[in-house]
Structure 1
Amino acid sequence: MFSMTDHATDHLGFLQDARTWTEHWCRHQAEDQGLELTEQDLAIVRSLRDFYFEYDLSPAMRPLVRHLKNSFGAEVGNSIYLMQRYGESPARTLALLAGLPKPKNCL
């Protein structure tokens, strides 16, 4: 069973150690955000985690859009789609779901 106590977070709810992330963590966070995750959402989250561990960067909006466009095509890799799907701050929401630090320049 999932337990929030297994995951240390900062004062904003972001995981302090991205290596402790699990899919259960992601699903719990999505539920708290009012999102019903699809397989595509999980693929996006996994792709974002790969990006983070390769570049040691939790991407803000522009690099996020570029990465998702390269990985998933223009339909997913555009700011309008991302804002409609993940709210006002997609980079922040996706970083939270992926267990990554809050991207710099995100409110």
Structure 2
Amino acid sequence: MNNNNTQQKWNTKYALKIAKKENIIMTENHWEIIYLIRKIYFKYNINPTNRILLKIIKKEIGNNKSNNLYLLSLFPHGIIKQANKIAGLPTSTICL
């Protein structure tokens, strides 16, 4: 399945299936990041780098969640890689 089909068919059931394959039990904190990444992607048509994501989290969610340790506790095998996969988005990033 290519990325366009994945994006079109994405829903929470799909995300839970992918998360299970990644050994992640989705919590409210996970969903908060997943929905934020999807918002960024569809608003700006980019996948944010880790640095950009942290800045946006700080602005939109709060300073206490805008650090790598917090994000790695949610997505231990790569913040951008795992979160994008669960969010149904391409895993490549853009450098700005």
Q: Distance in 1 between matches of 2:72 and 2:78?
A: 7
Deviation at residue 88 of structure 1 after TM alignment: 3.8
- Report the number of matched residues: 92
Q: Per chain length, whose mean CA-contact separation is higher, i.e. which structure has more relative contact order (CA < 8 Å, sep 6+)? A: 2
* Structure 1 residues without counterparts, runs of 5 or longer: 1-7, 10-15
Instruction: State the shift of 1:20 in Å.
Output: 2.1
Write the deviation string for residues 7-38 of structure 1: whole angstroms up to 9, x where unpaired: x24xxxxxx12232111111011101111101
CA distance in 1, matches of 2:72, 2:60: 18
Q: What does residue 93 of structure 2 align with? A: 104
Structure 2, unaligned runs of 5 or more: none
Q: CA RMSD in A?
A: 1.5
- Give the helix-richer structure, 1 or 2: 2
Identical-residue share of aligned pairs (%): 23
Deviations 1:23-81, CA, capped at 9 Å, x for gaps: 11110111011111012211221111111000000112111111122121122111111
Kept in 2: contact 1:29–1:96 (CA 8 A) = yes
List 4+ stretches of structure 1 deviating above 6 A: none
Task: Compute the TM-score of the two structures, normalised by the length of structure 1.
Answer: 0.77
**What is the TM-score of this pair, normalised by structure 2?**
0.85
